Amino acid sequence: MRVLDPDGCPPLEELVAQHVALPEARSGGRAFLRLNMIVSADGGSAVAGVSTGLGNTSDHAVFGALREGADCVLVGMATVVAEQYRAPTTEGLQIYVVTSKNDISGDPELFASGRATLVLPESAGPVPAGVPELRVGKSRVDLAQALEALPGKVVMAEGGPTVAGALVSAGLVDEYFLTVAPRVVGGDSGRVVRGPDADPTPWSLQHGFVDDDGFLFLRYGRSSAATGGA
């Protein structure tokens, strides 16, 4: 039994660094996958169609630190379009966008930057000139194959709930970072991980802290993968 202790707390920057520290032992043979999501206190995943309304400064710090420690981002096309993704400021970071088709019209600016790779199935049509692509799976993207195509890389999955659900149910998530925002937002945005049933075996809480605004930051690991953090 433990309590979250508000005394003797290091500064935010230090806490965030501890929170996102990469474990030394990582999955071999495929990318190491860290899923990061934010949820409202009533289980919502978005406000007015975007998750940006849920976060705060500390959440941005955790998000930024996770990106800094990653080689690639993996994200669904619906999130890219809803949140109008831009070329990442982190040097060398590539955004891998999961989609079933070759349509980049929802966010042409991101794809024009050359910093976004379309992850699409073999059945999809040819991608526009200059847009990098990764083809995995026949009529749907095979996410396991996508991660196998990125061996040794650290991949940060940024959702949305559909992609998160597919990754979780396929057992591909090595670490799960969850921010619980002290907001009760109502609406019908639904859960942050959505899709087929997943293995209900408990995860291991590796690290956690509460910031001055009452945002709760949790880091869970699979027992075989997570060794760092707290």
Residues that bind ligand NAP (CB under 6 A): 37-38, 45-46, 49-51, 76-79, 82-83, 98-101, 140-141, 158-163, 166, 192
Residues forming a β-bridge with 165: none
Q: At its nearest, how many Å lie between ligand NAP and the CB of residue 5? A: 27
- Report, in Å, the least distance between residue 18 CB and ligand NAP: 21
**C-alpha closest to that of 188 among 51, 59, 48:** 48
Minimum distance from residue 190 beta carbon to ligand NAP (Å): 8
SS3 content of the chain, % helix, strand, coil (to 5): 20, 25, 55
Instruction: Tell me whether residue 18 or residue 169 sits nearer to ligand NAP (CB atom).
Output: 169
For tokens 């630190």, the residue is 65
Q: Which is nearer to ligand NAP, 161 or 229 (CB)?
A: 161
User: Phi first, then psi: what are they for 55, rounded to 5°?
Assistant: -85, 180
Q: Which residues pair with 156 in a beta bridge?
A: 34, 73
Q: Which CB sits closer to ligand NAP, 143 or 154?
A: 143
Q: How far is the CB of 172 from ligand NAP (least distance, A)?
A: 12
| C-beta of 26 vs 120, nearer to ligand NAP | 120
CA nearest to 144, candidates 124, 122, 161, 119: 119
- Which of residues 9 and 190 has its CB atom nearest to ligand NAP in the complex? 190
Q: What is the DSSP string of 33-91?
A: EEEEEEEETTS-S-BTTBGGGG--HHHHHHHHHHHHT-SEEEEEHHHHHHTT----SST
Q: What would the two tokens of residue 206 be?
A: 């590796």
User: Please, what is the minimum distance in Å from the beta carbon of residue 3 to ligand NAP?
Assistant: 27
